[in-house]
Structures are given as structure tokens and as C-alpha cells.
Amino acid sequence: MSTRTQGRCPDCGASVDVLIVEGQPGEISPHDCPSRRCEYPRCRKKGLVDEMVAFRGAEWMCPEHGLLRATKELVSLYRAEGDADWTAISEIIAEILPGIVVKVEARTPQSPGQHPQG
């Protein structure tokens, strides 16, 4: 036997329908949850969309893993056989990295007397 009730999404706190089946964990109905989990292997971090990085619009990552992914891609593009793809490298540096750096710095506590770089 199952019942429907109101509950809260554990990720975003929104009011959601929950299906309760005896002996099983409650099942939250799909909703437009603004929370995302980092898709980097073995990472368990999660956060709201504005705290996470949509890497190339497909994968959601925490800022630290987004920075790592961007760095790995830059190195790969630079070391590619033949001429480096400077258009792709420039795109990452100009369009992707600035947003990731802002999010990483927002998550990093500042020491007294330390000022964010800008």
C-alpha cells in the first residue's frame, strides 16, 4: 500500500510530493530542482545551479573539479600533435575559466588580511 504526502526536497528545500511505500524510502516526485551533483568521478559534492559549473553545457561539476577539467583540457589542447588549437585554448581562457575562478574563490574562505584577486 502506498500513500502520497507533502515533503521537502533534501537538495533544494522545495515542497514536493512524496510517494510513501511501507518498508521503502520515500520517493520524491520529479520537480525542477535547482540542485546538481558533481559528475566528476568519486566526487560527492552538490550545490545549487549558481554554485556549480556547467562544463561545456553538458556536465555539472563542483567549481574545483570544473577548474581541474578546464586545466586538463587546456593541457591536452596545447600538447596535441601538430599545431595547438589556439582558438579552442582562447575560448576556454576567455569564456570558461573566469566564471569557474569566481566560483572557486567564492567557496574558499579568506584569511584575515587576504584580499580576493580581481
Same domain, 52 and 20: no
How many percent of the chain have pLDDT more than 70?
A: 92
> pTM of the full predicted structure?
0.70
Per-residue model confidence as pLDDT tens digits over 90-103: 999 999 999 999 99
Same domain, 49 and 99: yes
Range of the domain at 84: 35-107
The mean pLDDT value for 80-85 works out to 89
46 domain residue, yes or no:
yes
Same domain, 21 and 45: no
Per-residue model confidence as pLDDT tens digits over 40-79: 999 999 999 899 998 777 889 999 999 999 999 999 999 9
Statement: residue 111 has pLDDT above 70: no
Same domain, 62 and 90: yes
Same domain, 73 and 15: no
116 domain residue, yes or no:
no
Same domain, 81 and 58: yes
Statement: residue 117 has pLDDT above 90: no
Q: Could you please report the per-residue DSSP string of 44-108?
A: --EEEGGGSEEETTTEEE-HHHHHHHHHHHHHHHHHSSSS--HHHHHHIIIIIHHHHHHHHHHHS
